[in-house]
């Protein structure tokens, strides 16, 4: 019976997120470091200050000597979720800090820009600050939990990679 190699068509998420992590394991990245890198990337990636995630993720990764590639992969994978969570973080921040809720009406924002732009700017920064504090508290609790949960999973993947049980293409016998 001849052996044939057939290409496996993986999903976009698998190709862009899982395969790079497997490649990092193959190159000798430690599962513990990868777990922390992924956890930090995921939680930095959802911070409500749009446009800050890449630099913040780099800074944290350098500071704690994490895997830059893994943290950036996780960070950039979170971009759609970051956009989806900005308003909920701001709303929750308003509730936790008991401040006025941010109006979502474009007309109210335009009215604020025209009548009191400095007051609106201060209010926007306050809402953003409250959202950031809330995100930091949630991340400080959830990131270590995720890292601890990912470590055994990545150790298992490393064992499979070392035993060549996790090929990128399938080796089906006909």
pTM: 0.80
Residue among 146, 131, 149, 129 nearest 46 (CA)? 131
The dihedral through the CA atoms of 21, 22, 23, 28 has a sign that is: positive
Predicted confidence band at 166 (pLDDT cuts at 50, 70, 90)?
A: low
Overall average pLDDT of the 40-44 stretch:
96
Angle at 36 between CA 148 and CA 22, to 5 degrees: 100
Predicted confidence (pLDDT) per residue in 131-148, tens digit: 999 999 999 999 999 999
Q: Where are the domains of the chain?
A: 12-162
72-128, pLDDT tens digit by residue?
999 999 999 999 999 999 999 999 999 988 877 788 878 888 898 898 889 889 999
Give per-residue pLDDT as tens, 58-74.
999 999 999 999 999 99
CA gap 120, 109 in Å, rounded: 8
């Amino acid at each position: 019976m001849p052996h044939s190699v057939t290409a496996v068509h993986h999903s976009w998420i698998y190709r862009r997120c899982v395969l790079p992590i497997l490649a990092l394991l193959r190159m000798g990245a430690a599962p513990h470091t990868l777990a922390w890198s992924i956890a930090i990337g995921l939680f930095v990636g959802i911070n409500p200050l749009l446009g800050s995630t890449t630099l913040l993720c780099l800074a944290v990764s350098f500071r704690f000597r994490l895997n830059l590639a893994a943290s950036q992969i996780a960070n950039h994978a979170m971009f759609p979720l970051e956009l989806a969570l900005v308003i909920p973080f701001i709303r929750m921040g308003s509730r936790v800090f008991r401040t006025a809720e941010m109006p979502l009406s474009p007309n109210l924002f335009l009215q604020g820009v025209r009548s009191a732009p400095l007051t609106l700017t201060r209010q926007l920064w306050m809402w953003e600050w409250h959202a950031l504090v809330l995100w930091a508290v949630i991340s400080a609790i959830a990131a270590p939990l995720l890292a601890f949960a990912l470590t055994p999973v990545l150790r298992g993947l490393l064992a499979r990679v070392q035993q060549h049980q996790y090929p990128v293409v399938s080796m089906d016998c006909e």
